[in-house]
Amino acid sequence: MTTPGDSASEIWPLWEVFVRSNRGLSHVHVGSLHAPDETLAVRNARDLYTRRGEGVSVWVVPAAAITTSDPDAKGAFFESSAGKNYRHASYYSKSEGVKHL
């Protein structure tokens, strides 16, 4: 699998963008962009993904630095939990006041 930006004909490498919308929440992947270096990647991320007040913090990560699971190995990776509901904590009652479970 090739990453956009890796070949000589594509000068600007690809970056993945993570935005934290509020203090206390996690950074969430919002999309990707091209930028020549990390300094401009953060600025491009600001321009592309936070202009309507979406964020208080931005991370950019070189797409090439992300190791992904193999789409062809979906079965081996993710299917074993299907049909085994004893793996889920669905039989416990949730404590009052716990919002993000």
- Contact between 34 and 5 under an 8 Å Cβ cutoff? The reply is yes
- Is 35 a residue that touches another protein (CB under 8 A)? yes
51 versus 84: smaller Cβ distance to another protein = 51
Which of 1-9, 47-55, 56-64, 74-82 is the region at the interface with another protein (rule: CB under 8 A)? 47-55
Kindly give the pairing relationship between strand 28-34 and strand 14-20.
antiparallel
- Contact between 34 and 4 under an 8 Å Cβ cutoff? The reply is yes
- Is 64 a residue that touches another protein (CB under 8 A)? no
DSSP code at position 67: -
Which spans of this chain sit near another protein (rule: CB under 8 A)?
12, 33-37, 39-40, 43-44, 46-48, 51
